[in-house]
Structure 1
Amino acid sequence: MNEEAEMKIVVLPGDGVGPEVAAEAVKCLELLSRHCGLGLRFETHDFGGAAIDAVGSSLPESTLAACKGADAVLMGAVGGPRWDERAEMPEVGLLRLRRELGLFANLRPARVIPGLESLSPLRADLAEGADVLVVRELTGGIYFGERRVEGETASDLCLYSRAEIERIAHIAFRAARGRRRRVTSVDKANVMATSKLWRRTVAEVAEDYPDVTLDHLYVDAAAMALVTNPRRFDVILTENMFGDILSDELSVIGGSIGLLGSASVGAAGPGLFEPIHGSAPDIAGLDIANPSGAIASAAMMLEELGLAPMGHILSEALQKTLLAGCRTADFGGNARCSEFGETVRESLRRRLARYDAHLELVTMNRGCCG
């Protein structure tokens, strides 16, 4: 490939196992960039608890400025109990970063890889074919509402506007058009005022997408259906807290929360790509974390940057590695984090060689027929 214009990727390794899994994902991206001339340039910045230790802030201004000037942001993990008693916890930096970058949509795909159904905690016949995308509203709701503690009472405000609901609904319906054309909107409209507005607004947005089927579920019913009939879902559209909980529940259906990546995107500016797992401080530094989620996030990042073929090749290399039996402890294997990452890269090299051969053949055929 010809050298593309340079693209700046800010890497936020973060805390716990974050630096370990992020490093494996970056090595995969560097391999792709060198081989295919993608022009990816990486900058690493302090973030989360590591930044608190270094400069006293979970999101230093220098880190925020770098993220705002990037084409994409790749994160490892954030948080841990060692900072629980601090005035500013690491997660505060993550919430602020999402807000500052305008990242209102969190996309969390989860699927059971064909051939690995037996590793799901569900019966194989229930797990088979499960393939769900959670579209979670990311900058509103109870996580961003006013918090108040007064003596022995406390409150958290859950607030949504029609505009916030409309914009996330459009993301979900557009995503469904590229999948199986079904959106399930999850709320608690039998109890909560915000959910009543949510349901009404989503139904109105659905009128713009007559080719997509919409249904509604209460969040408790959705939680039950995810483990009794996950194939009923295509795209789940939901608010911030419900999406956080349901996507974590959904993540284990494939066998491990360590497998899954996510993308947080907005109307403009760089997206944030991160595995959905936590920082797992109890295993940090032991080289046993699962880097699959970070690598999957890197593949999503490539697609968002307009490099979909490279993202697909990386996703295929990751899947083939798992199917070949190279797995970390959380997924029933004994591979080290670094060993797993190198095995993915070896699979990636083989796929790139075939990709090059295909391009050469296409070029030759065009020359003969032109």
Structure 2
Amino acid sequence: MAQHRVVLLPGDGIGPEITAVARQLLEAVSKRHGFELSFEEQPIGGSAIDATGEPLPASTLAACRSADAVLLAAIGSPRFDTLPREKRPETGLLGLRAGMELFANLRPVKIVQALIDASSLKREVIEGVDLLVVRELTGGIYFGQPKGRIEADGDERGFNTMTYAASEVDRIARVAFDIATQRQGRLCSVDKANVLDVSQLWRDRVDALAPTYSEVEVSHMYVDNAAMQLVRDPRQFDVLLTGNLFGDILSDEAAMLTGSIGMLPSASLGSDGPGLFEPVHGSAPDIAGQDKANPMAMVLSAAMMLRIGLNQAGAADELEAAVDKVLAAGFRTGDLMADGCISLGCAAMGQELLKAL
């Protein structure tokens, strides 16, 4: 029997609630498919600050690096907003990505037919949308040096550095090209090459790699136009490749095509070692502990973990089918509620998903 070690990072806010649902489903589907999952929970973010004073304890990072896959729920709370930047929950997440050497973030956006009317966009705009954002995760302006705040000329100045090496662009571009060959064969690279030197390098490197992937149709788009096109005609996109900052913004915009950010999973991968799988949404501290959370994105992140991280495609298919079945039956959490549907809390939705398995 195949055995896989999974580190669970419940984190903050609604994280423990949606983690509990995902763990139940993973335990059920693994038994059905004849493999064994062993789980280890570790603190990160606000929960780690409360426990250890640090947003990413060394023990958490070590456990994640030695696992077969890592499933993260959510981090963050307003309680920690007054802490120094290096002590905040978000710094723990950045440190985890860097410590696990995860440079490629994959965010699929696919319209679920049962939820098509939940989107704020017209049905005819979003019907059939199936795209993937490939975001570079460990470079760019979030990690570039120098950065900080200084006093200069009698004024205070804040600064960050957007920087990429050609090798960093090449490795994330190869990920996007490889994925495009397995999808519709279309790659759109998003930059700001009309203004930024770093984007000019980005575009040059994508063009240099393109001949190696002759079966992929390559296009380029400025980020401001890409933001507009995502809400004007999202079906034109197959794989969207972009840097850290632009990818952060565009992937959240793309998420809302589905009507709720509570439906979208993601994967963060490196060249070697375990991947990190997490829902796109945040910790939602305003509803934490109230059984109002939507666990679907966490469940779909678990399915991505099974498929990509653990090579258990059959089990992943079953989890995704369970989500579709429950939604088609009219069960909804509050963020997705519509006329004629049945409102459920987080735990009850988990039970319906178990029944659907």
**TM-score, length basis structure 2:** 0.95
SS in 1 for 2:278: strand
SS of corresponding position for 2:347: helix
Work out whether 1:160 is the aligned partner of 2:159. Answer: no
- The structure 1 segments of at least 4 consecutive aligned residues displaced by more than 2 Å after TM superposition are 34-37
On the 8 A contact 2:29/2:318 being kept in 1, the answer is no
Cα deviation digits, residues 64-102 of structure 1 (max 9, x gap): 111111000000101111111112100111111111111
Note if 1:342 corresponds to 2:347.
Answer: no
Counterpart secondary structure, 2:327: helix
* Structure 1 residue 177: Cα displacement: 1.1
> C-alpha distance in 2, partners of 1:219/1:23?
38
* Percent identity for Structure 1 against Structure 2: 51
Q: Report the AA paired with residue 96 of structure 1.
A: G
Distance (whole Å) between structure 1 residues aligned to residue 80 and residue 325 of structure 2: 38
Deviation at 1:116, TM superposition (A): 2.9
Which secondary structure state, in structure 2, belongs to the residue aligned with residue 208 of structure 1? Answer: helix
Cross-structure match for 1:356: none
CA contact (8 A) 2:170 2:209 kept: yes
The residue type equivalent to 1:90 in the other structure is: P
TM-score, normalised relative to structure 1: 0.92
Q: Work out the CA distance in 2 between the residues paired with 1:262 and 1:198.
A: 23
Aligned length: 345
1:129 corresponds to which letter in structure 2?
Answer: G
Deviation at 1:335, TM superposition (A): 1.1
Out of 218, 222, 225, the position equivalent to 1:214 is 218
How far residue 36 of structure 1 moved from its aligned partner, in angstroms, is: 2.3
Aligned to 2:336: 331
Q: Which residue of 1 aligns with 2:15?
A: 18
Query: Does the alignment pair 1:109 with 2:113?
Result: no
- Alignment correspondent of 1:313: 318
Amino acid at match of 2:150: E
Contact 2:292–2:334 (CA<8 Å) still a contact in 1? yes
Q: Which of residues 45, 48, 61 in structure 1 aligns to 2:45?
A: 48
C-alpha deviation, 1:303, in angstroms = 0.5
Cross-structure match for 1:364: none
Distance 2:44 2:115 in 1: 35
Out of 261, 280, 285, which is 1:281 matched to? 285
Task: Please list the CA deviations of residues 170-217 of structure 1 after superposition, one character each: whole Å capped at 9, or x if unmatched.
Answer: 100111111110000000000111100000101111111000000000
Q: What is the match of residue 183 of structure 1?
A: 187
Opposite residue 17 of structure 2, the aligned amino acid is E
**Range 159-168 or range 331-340, more displaced:** 331-340
Residues 216-231 of structure 1 correspond to what in structure 2 (within 5 A)? Answer: 216-231=220-235
2:163 is paired with a residue whose SS is: coil
Match of 1:171 among 161, 172, 175: 175
| Letter matched to residue 255 of structure 1 | G
Please name the residue that 2:266 is paired with.
Answer: 262
Provide the residue aligned with 2:150 in structure 1.
150
Residue identity matched to 1:339: A
Give the C-alpha shift of residue 301 in structure 1. 0.3
C-alpha separation between the residues in 1 aligned to 2:65 and 2:316? 23
**Mapping for residues 1-150 of structure 1, pairs under 5 Å:** 3-4=1-2, 6-87=3-84, 88-146=87-145, 147-150=147-150
Moved more, 209-218 or 33-42: 33-42
Residues 33, 314 of structure 2: 8 Å contact kept: no
1:32-82 deviation per Cα after TM superposition (whole angstroms, max 9, x unaligned): 122322111000011111000110011111111111110000001011111
Gaps of at least 5 residues in structure 2 are none
SS of 2:214's partner is coil
Comparing 28-37 with 233-242, greater Cα deviation is found at 28-37
Does structure 1 residue 198 correspond to structure 2 residue 202? yes
Contact 2:119–2:259 under 8 Å retained in 1 = yes
How many angstroms apart in 2 are the aligned matches of 1:239 and 1:66? 28
Taking the aligned partners of 1:316 and 1:194, their CA distance within structure 2 comes to 42
SS in 1 for 2:107: strand
Q: Is the 8 A contact 2:30 2:315 kept in 1?
A: no
Partner Cα separation in structure 2 for residue 227 and residue 62 of structure 1: 43
Q: Deviations over 1:133-152 (max 9, x none)?
A: 00000000001112210131
Structure 2 equivalent of residue 237 of structure 1: 241
- Unaligned 5+ segments in structure 1 are 349-370
Contact 2:103 2:137 in 1 (8 A): yes
- Give the aligned CA root-mean-square deviation in angstroms: 0.9
State the one-letter code of the partner of 1:35: R
The CA deviation at 1:337 is: 0.6
Q: 40-49 or 319-328: which moved more?
A: 319-328
